[in-house]
Amino acid sequence: MKLCLLLLLLQAAAIVSALSPSQPTSLSNRPTTSKHSRRSTSSLFGIRSTLARARDSLVNKERSDADLKDGIAFFYDRSSKLWEDVWGEHMHHGYYVPEDRTDHVQAQIDLIDEVLKWSYGSDNLGSRSPKTVVDVGCGIGGSSRHIVKKYPGSTAQGITLSPYQANRGNELAKEQGLSDRASFQVADALNMPFADSSFDLVWSLESGEHMPDKPKFINELMRVAAPGGRIILVTWCHRDLEKGEPSLSKKEERILAKINRAYYLPKWCSVADYVELLKKEGAVDIRREDWSYIIAPFWKAVIKSSLNLKSVIGLMKSGFSTIRGAYAMLLMLRGFNAGVIKFGLITCTKPETGKADP
Ligand code: SAH
């Protein structure tokens, strides 16, 4: 019932959005000729509604890497303000233990703490606590600011593809008196602007799914980690394949392909694939976990949160890519329920001696 209501609201938002003038983000530095900034020419008279466009555009073919990168930046430039207005500074799933908890922002903060606890094996790290942190795919920097507050004396550097997010991350750091400890910049996770062995915590929370070249991504995470440093990767994965199973089913592939269009994602991999890549890079103490059941109530909460006037108006202002993202929430729910999407946690250590012998 509520899902029907959401679709109705989205439809209304889509139509009004299609008819209202573009609202370019002040910080976007993309040229106006970018294909992502082109406006819908829909009108009431005959041309498809934005909603139909959202649905149709989900079945188009995969994007090139360059298009993907441009699209990710554009998507987060346009949608991050709406997300922050409704959900605050963390752009990731929450920790739902117990499962009926209703403070969703606290659930997101708890997820960071619980992931750290899971990786390090303790909440109280004392002198073992990380001093230098890189937040790979940082959003508006919620994790970085939380981590530097948690570990006295630590500093964090975050990277994102979105100029809006980097700027907003720095603004929030200033507001929270953390400018000297947390900073954010636009940079590519596949070619990070950091020297080898720079960080004793390499943190990537729900950004790995955006990376088109997973081996290069893992190679970069390992490169910037200090010897003895910890890598924590929390990311959307597809289920592990069974022994001898060559690929996902066609039906599963179709769900993921539609999500890819909406959220600017490339081909997915499994947690097992990440573990293999880390082994190849010589990582040690590799551990993995599936927390799909822990985050399960999240998408229903997001959908519910969009059922209010403020969210719908925000959607209208944010434009087509955000509306399509909202539409795809239903697909995420379907993917988790079907067991094809997994919320994967992977952690490991870079060996003290550098890359191990193959
Ligand atoms: N980790 C953040 C944000 C998650 S949203 C949080 O939990 O709040 C995904 C983030 O990944 C966005 O900030 C997006 O810009 C970033 N991202 C995606 N691909 C990237 C790339 N190639 N390089 C750097 N950041 C990337």
- Predicted confidence (pLDDT) at residue 307 exceeds the cutoff of 90: no
The distance in angstroms from the start CA to the end CA of the chain is: 55
Cα 139 to middle of ligand 1, angstroms: 5
| 155-160/182-186 β-pairing | parallel
Confirm if 152 and 173 have CB atoms less than 8 A apart: no
Q: How far is the CA of 157 from the centre of ligand 1 (A)?
A: 13
Identify the pLDDT of residue 18. 35
In our burial notation (b when 16+ CB lie closer than 10 A, e otherwise), range 298-309 reads bbebbbeebeee
Q: What is the pLDDT of residues 215-245, one digit of tens each?
A: 999 999 999 999 999 999 999 999 999 999 9
Lowest mean pLDDT among 18-27, 62-71, 181-190: 18-27
Q: Whose CA is nearest to atom 26 of ligand 1?
A: 137
Angstrom distance (rounded) from CA 87 to CA 47: 34
pLDDT-wise least confident of 95-109, 179-193, 278-292 = 95-109
Under the banding of pLDDT at 50, 70 and 90, the label for residue 353 is: confident
Helix (H, G, I), strand (E, B) or coil at 258: helix
Nearest alpha-carbon partner for 275 in 240, 323, 325: 240
Q: What's the mean pLDDT when you consider all of the chain?
A: 83
pLDDT for the residue numbered 63: 82
Secondary structure (3-state) at 51: helix
**Pocket of ligand 1 from Cβ distances under 6 Å:** 72, 76, 90-92, 137-139, 142-143, 159-162, 165, 188-190, 205-207, 210-211
Atom of ligand 1 nearest to the CA of 190: 22
Query: In the chain, what are the domains?
Result: 2-61+299-337 (no CATH), 104-294+339-349 (3.40.50.150)
The arithmetic mean of pLDDT across residues 114-121, rounded, is 98
DSSP E strands in the chain: the ranges are 132-136, 155-160, 182-186, 199-205, 225-238, 284-290, 341-349
Q: Whose CA is nearest to atom 13 of ligand 1?
A: 139
pLDDT for 320: 62
Take atom 19 of ligand 1 and give the residue whose Cα is closest: 210
Whole-angstrom distance, CA of residue 53 vs CA of residue 234: 32
Q: How far is the CA of 263 from the centre of ligand 1 (A)?
A: 11
Return the pLDDT at 51. 56
Asked if 134 and 111 count as a contact pair (C-beta separation under 8 A), the reply is no
Cβ neighbours of residue 123 closer than 8 Å, sequence gap 6 or more: 113, 116, 117
Taking the centre of ligand 1 as the mean of its atom positions, its distance from the CA of residue 68, in whole angstroms, is 13
Whose Cα sits closest to atom 5 in ligand 1?
139
Given this model, what pLDDT does residue 62 score?
A: 73
Closest atom of ligand 1 to 205 CA is 1
Q: How far is CA 286 from CA 201, 224, 282, 305, in A?
A: 15, 17, 10, 37
pLDDT reading at 42 higher than 60: no
